[in-house]
Amino acid sequence: MHLSPDEIIFWQYGFFKLNATIVFTWGIMLILAVGATLITRKLSIGLQRARWQNVLEIVVLAVEEQIEDVGLANPRRYLSFLATLVLFLATAALCTIIPGYQPPTGSLSTTVALALCVFVAVPFFGIRERGLGSYLRSYAQPTIIMLPFNIISEISRTLALAVRLFGNMMSGTMIIAILLTITPFIFPIVMMALGLLTGMVQAYIFFILATVYIAAATRVRTAETAMAQNQ
């Protein structure tokens, strides 16, 4: 019984190793990339379009709409990063119905990696929107005393992101594994359905939190501009 797919190691050479997390991540990447390529190879711009194209359009437009709802003025600038988060997390959760599959999100390494990506992306987008000085000054708002608290908040929320996702995904697989050993065959299926729901919810939560963080980092600028315009 492994607590994390990191522990399933297929190949190792010193520091480099090929564990289940990386392999399944590659599998998900392959599915997503090949699927996207196949579907977008012949896109229709007319009113008639293929079902898969329709599905992808719905997903992309829904994500775009969500980003806009949160308050980001130019959603297409953030779409690549945020929609990839959703698609990756949702696919990872969906694939739990495949026997023998270990979700890469059930590994704390993966969730930490994704949280680090968000941790980097928030200042990246903030600085790109507002400029370096303005972004750094936002840490000392409303007073300089708030600077350490802001920094702690930044780090702690990243940690929370990682642990929340890891805990939920790991618990899902763990519960199914435990139930499989003690109950008849029907009950784990119910739990698996619940796990699918939890996975989707977690994917949505992760995405929406990342969006809110980015929005918070970029939106101050508009508030400042509005104030400057008022003065």
Q: Which residues bind other proteins (CB under 8 A)?
A: 3-4, 6, 15-17, 19, 21-22, 25-26, 29, 32-33, 36-37, 40, 43-47, 53, 56-57, 60-61, 76, 79-81, 83-84, 87-88, 104, 107-110, 112-114, 116-117, 166
For the record, the structure tokens of 163 come out as 């642990």
| Choice between 89 and 192, CB closer to other proteins | 89
| Choice between 55 and 152, CB closer to other proteins | 55
| Choice between 26 and 149, CB closer to other proteins | 26
| Choice between 94 and 136, CB closer to other proteins | 94
3-state helix, strand, coil in the chain (%, to 5): 80, 5, 15
| Choice between 3 and 197, CB closer to other proteins | 3
Q: Report which residue type is found at 191.
A: M
91 within 8 A of 31, measured Cβ to Cβ = yes
The C-alpha atoms of residue 85 and residue 66 are separated, in whole angstroms, by 13
| Choice between 96 and 111, CB closer to other proteins | 111
Q: In degrees rounded to 5, what are phi and psi of residue 107?
A: -100, 130
The C-alpha atoms of residue 137 and residue 144 are separated, in whole angstroms, by 9
For the record, the structure tokens of 55 come out as 């599905």
Q: CB of residue 5 vs other proteins: minimum separation in angstroms?
A: 9
The C-alpha atoms of residue 141 and residue 138 are separated, in whole angstroms, by 5
Centre a 10 Å sphere on the Cβ of residue 185 and count the other Cβ atoms it contains: 8
The C-alpha atoms of residue 115 and residue 128 are separated, in whole angstroms, by 20
Q: CB of residue 14 vs other proteins: minimum separation in angstroms?
A: 10
| 162 DSSP 8-state letter | H
Centre a 10 Å sphere on the Cβ of residue 4 and count the other Cβ atoms it contains: 19
Any idea how long the chain is? 231
Q: CB of residue 208 vs other proteins: minimum separation in angstroms?
A: 18
